[in-house]
Amino acid sequence: MPTIEKINGSIFKVVYGNPTNPVDVTLPYEDAYSGLKCEEINGKLQVIDAGKTIISEKDSKVDGGIFSVTFSYENAHFFGFGEKMGYLDKRGKHFKMQNMDNPLHTPDLDPMYISIPFFIAVSPKKPAMGIFANSTSYTFFKTGNDFDVSAKDDGIELYLIYGPKVQDVVGKFTQLVGKMEMPPAWSLGYQQSRWSYSTASEALDIAKKLRSDDIPCDVIYLDIDYMDGYRVFTWGENFKAPKSFSQEMKKLGFKIVTIIDPGVKVDENYEIYKSGKSLDAFVKDRSGKDFTGYVWPGRCNFPDFLRSDVREWWAKSHKSLFENGVDGVWNDMNEPAIVWTDSKTSKVFELMQKGEIDFQILGEAKAFFAQEDFGDEIVHKDDKGKIWPHFKVRNIYAYLEAMATKQAFEMYKPNKRPFILTRAGFAGIQKYAAVWTGDNSSWWEHLEIEMPISMGLGMSGVAFTGTDVGGFGGNADGELLARWTEMGAFFPFFRNHSAIGTSRQEPWSFGKQIEDTIRKYIKLRYALFPYIYTAFYFSHKDGVPVMRPLLFLDQDNENLYSINDEFLFGDSILVAPITRPNATWRTVYIPKGKWIDMRNGNLYEEDHVYKIDAPLDEIPIFIKENSMIFKTDPANYILEKEKMNLYVDIYGQEAVGYLYEDDGETLDYKAGKYNLYEFAVGALSQGYTIGIKALNHGYVGKYKKVQMNFLNAPRQIIEVTLNGKKIESHFDGKTLKVEFEMEDVI
Ligand code: MIG
Q: Is 583 contained in some domain?
A: yes
Q: Could you tell me how far CA 273 lies from the centroid of its own chain?
A: 32
Determine the atom of ligand 1 nearest the C-alpha atom of 472: 4
Separation in Å, CA 193 to CA 311, 435, 470, 497, 500: 28, 15, 11, 5, 11
Beta strand extents in 196-235 (DSSP E only): 219-222
Closest CA to 369 of 403, 340, 343: 340
d(CA 77, CA 563): 13
Strand order in the sheet with 675-683: 655-661, 675-683, 687-697, 719-722, 725-727
Q: What is the pLDDT of residue 190?
A: 99
Phi, psi of 622 (to 5 degrees): -120, 145
Domain boundary among 177, 200, 225: 177
Taking residues 406-422, report their average pLDDT.
Answer: 98
DSSP, residue by residue, 361-393: SHHHHHHHHTT---TTTEEEE-TT--EEEHHHH
Percent of the chain, pLDDT > 90?
Answer: 87
Q: Say yes or no: 568 and 602 in one domain.
A: yes
What's the 430 CA to ligand 1 centre distance in angstroms? 21
Determine the atom of ligand 1 nearest the C-alpha atom of 497: 4
Q: What is the pLDDT of residue 339?
A: 81
Q: Decide whether any atom of ligand 1 lies within 6 Å of the 224 Cβ.
A: yes
Instruction: Give 163's contacts (C-beta < 8 A, 6+ positions apart).
Output: 120, 127, 128, 129, 130, 169
- The overall average pLDDT reported for the chain is 94
Q: Say yes or no: 561 and 671 in one domain.
A: no
Separation in Å, CA 373 to CA 18, 21, 561, 619: 24, 18, 34, 42
Mean pLDDT is highest, among 7-11, 48-52, 424-428, for: 424-428
Q: What is the pLDDT of residue 597?
A: 98
Taking residues 713-727, report their average pLDDT.
Answer: 86
Q: Strand 387-389 vs strand 378-381: parallel, antiparallel, or unpaired?
A: antiparallel
Q: Decide whether any atom of ligand 1 lies within 6 Å of the 113 Cβ.
A: no
Determine the atom of ligand 1 nearest the C-alpha atom of 363: 1
Domain boundary among 177, 212, 231: 177
Provide the b/e sequence for 654-685 (b: ≥16 CB within 10 Å). ebebbbbbbbbbbbebeeebbbbbebebebee
d(CA 227, CA 178): 33
Q: Is 559 contained in some domain?
A: yes
Taking residues 414-428, report their average pLDDT.
Answer: 98
d(CA 64, CA 62): 7
Classify residue 225 by its DSSP letter. G
- pLDDT > 90? residue 346: no
Count of C-beta atoms within a 10 Å radius of residue 584? 10
Mean pLDDT is highest, among 76-85, 337-346, 731-740, for: 76-85
Q: Decide whether any atom of ligand 1 lies within 6 Å of the 4 Cβ.
A: no
Confidence band of 347 (pLDDT split at 50, 70, 90): confident
Q: Say yes or no: 602 and 710 in one domain.
A: no
H helices of 374-505, where? 390-412, 444-459, 478-488
Q: Which of 49, 83, 335, 479 is the catalytic position? A: 335
Nearest residue (by CA) to ligand 1, atom 12, is 195
d(CA 255, CA 333): 22
Q: Strand 219-222 vs strand 255-260: parallel, antiparallel, or unpaired?
A: parallel
524's enclosing H/E stretch is helix 512-527
Count of C-beta atoms within a 10 Å radius of residue 474? 16
- pLDDT > 80? residue 679: yes
Determine the atom of ligand 1 nearest the C-alpha atom of 103: 3
Specify the range with the lowest mean pLDDT, choosing from 85-89, 364-368, 442-446, 662-666. Answer: 364-368
Nearest residue (by CA) to ligand 1, atom 13, is 195
Q: Is 289 contained in some domain?
A: no
Q: Say yes or no: 35 and 142 in one domain.
A: yes
Determine the atom of ligand 1 nearest the C-alpha atom of 337: 1
Torsion of CA 185, 190, 191, 194, to 10 degrees: 170
Q: Is 427 contained in some domain?
A: no
Cis peptide bond upstream of 164, omega within 30: yes
Q: Decide whether any atom of ligand 1 lies within 6 Å of the 680 Cβ.
A: no
Q: What is the pLDDT of residue 245?
A: 98
Whether 597 is catalytic: no
Taking residues 680-698, report their average pLDDT.
Answer: 93
Break the chain down into helix, strand, coil percent, rounded to 5. Answer: 25, 30, 45
Q: What is the pLDDT of residue 164?
A: 94
CATH number of the domain encompassing residue 117 = 2.60.40.1760
CA end-to-end span of the chain, whole Å? 59
d(CA 741, CA 427): 44
Q: Say yes or no: 54 and 132 in one domain.
A: yes
Taking residues 518-533, report their average pLDDT.
Answer: 98
Q: Is 361 contained in some domain?
A: no
Confidence band of 345 (pLDDT split at 50, 70, 90): confident
Confidence band of 103 (pLDDT split at 50, 70, 90): confident
Confidence band of 16 (pLDDT split at 50, 70, 90): very high
Q: Decide whether any atom of ligand 1 lies within 6 Å of the 223 Cβ.
A: yes
Q: What is the pLDDT of residue 144?
A: 92
Instruction: Give 711's contacts (C-beta < 8 A, 6+ positions apart).
Output: 601, 649, 650, 651, 734, 735
Confidence band of 36 (pLDDT split at 50, 70, 90): confident
Whether 335 is catalytic: yes
Q: Strand 465-469 vs strand 434-436: parallel, antiparallel, or unpaired?
A: parallel
d(CA 492, CA 539): 11
Q: Decide whether any atom of ligand 1 lies within 6 Å of the 263 Cβ.
A: no
Q: Say yes or no: 614 and 721 in one domain.
A: no
Q: Is 556 contained in some domain?
A: yes
Q: Decide whether any atom of ligand 1 lies within 6 Å of the 194 Cβ.
A: no
Q: Say yes or no: 59 and 168 in one domain.
A: yes
Q: What is the pLDDT of residue 364?
A: 53
Q: Say yes or no: 598 and 672 in one domain.
A: no
Nearest residue (by CA) to ligand 1, atom 5, is 195
DSSP, residue by residue, 704-730: EEEEEEETT--S---EEEETTEEE--E
Cis peptide bond upstream of 196, omega within 30: yes
Mean pLDDT is highest, among 13-27, 487-501, 720-734, for: 487-501
d(CA 388, CA 483): 46
Confidence band of 635 (pLDDT split at 50, 70, 90): very high
Q: Decide whether any atom of ligand 1 lies within 6 Å of the 438 Cβ.
A: yes
Domain boundary among 177, 212, 234: 177
Confidence band of 373 (pLDDT split at 50, 70, 90): confident
Q: Say yes or no: 613 and 648 in one domain.
A: no
- pLDDT > 60? residue 325: yes
Determine the atom of ligand 1 nearest the C-alpha atom of 195: 5
Among 231, 232, 439, 502, which residue has the most ligand 1 atoms within 8 Å of its CB, making it the best to mutate? 439
Taking residues 39-65, report their average pLDDT.
Answer: 92
Return the higher-pLDDT residue of 677 and 684.
677
Query: What does the pLDDT look like over 66-91, one tens digit per residue?
Result: 999 999 999 999 999 999 999 999 99
Q: Which of 89, 153, 223, 332 is the catalytic position? A: 332
Query: What does the pLDDT look like over 127-182, one tens digit per residue?
Result: 999 999 999 999 999 999 899 999 999 999 999 999 999 999 999 999 999 999 99
d(CA 646, CA 643): 10
d(CA 261, CA 336): 9
Q: Say yes or no: 58 and 124 in one domain.
A: yes
Q: What is the pLDDT of residue 168?
A: 96
Q: Decide whether any atom of ligand 1 lies within 6 Å of the 362 Cβ.
A: yes
Q: What is the pLDDT of residue 357?
A: 67
Confidence band of 30 (pLDDT split at 50, 70, 90): low
One-letter amino acid at 520 equals K
Specify the range with the lowest mean pLDDT, choosing from 82-91, 199-208, 382-391, 715-724. Answer: 715-724
Taking residues 275-288, report their average pLDDT.
Answer: 97
Classify residue 231 by its DSSP letter. B
Taking residues 308-334, report their average pLDDT.
Answer: 98
Could you tell me the residue range of the domain that residue 612 belongs to?
Answer: 543-623
Query: What does the pLDDT look like over 544-568, one tens digit per residue?
Result: 999 999 999 999 999 999 999 999 9
Cis peptide bond upstream of 127, omega within 30: no
Q: Decide whether any atom of ligand 1 lies within 6 Å of the 439 Cβ.
A: yes
Q: Decide whether any atom of ligand 1 lies within 6 Å of the 423 Cβ.
A: yes
One-letter amino acid at 318 equals H
Whether 640 is catalytic: no
What's the 543 CA to ligand 1 centre distance in angstroms? 29
What's the 21 CA to ligand 1 centre distance in angstroms? 30
Q: What is the pLDDT of residue 369?
A: 56
What's the 362 CA to ligand 1 centre distance in angstroms? 9
Q: Say yes or no: 17 and 115 in one domain.
A: yes
What's the 84 CA to ligand 1 centre distance in angstroms? 19
Q: Decide whether any atom of ligand 1 lies within 6 Å of the 259 Cβ.
A: yes
d(CA 99, CA 90): 19
Confidence band of 358 (pLDDT split at 50, 70, 90): low
d(CA 301, CA 278): 13
- The total of structural domains in the chain comes to 3
Confidence band of 684 (pLDDT split at 50, 70, 90): confident
Taking residues 671-699, report their average pLDDT.
Answer: 95
What's the 332 CA to ligand 1 centre distance in angstroms? 7
Q: Say yes or no: 618 and 682 in one domain.
A: no
Confidence band of 302 (pLDDT split at 50, 70, 90): very high
What's the 445 CA to ligand 1 centre distance in angstroms? 21
Q: Is 404 contained in some domain?
A: no
Phi, psi of 414 (to 5 degrees): -60, 145
Nearest residue (by CA) to ligand 1, atom 8, is 333
Closest CA to 272 of 243, 327, 229, 208: 229
Among 112, 192, 198, 223, which residue has the most ligand 1 atoms within 8 Å of its CB, making it the best to mutate? 223
Q: Which of 439, 479, 515, 565 is the catalytic position? A: 439
Q: Is 529 contained in some domain?
A: no
CATH number of the domain encompassing residue 647 = 2.60.40.1180
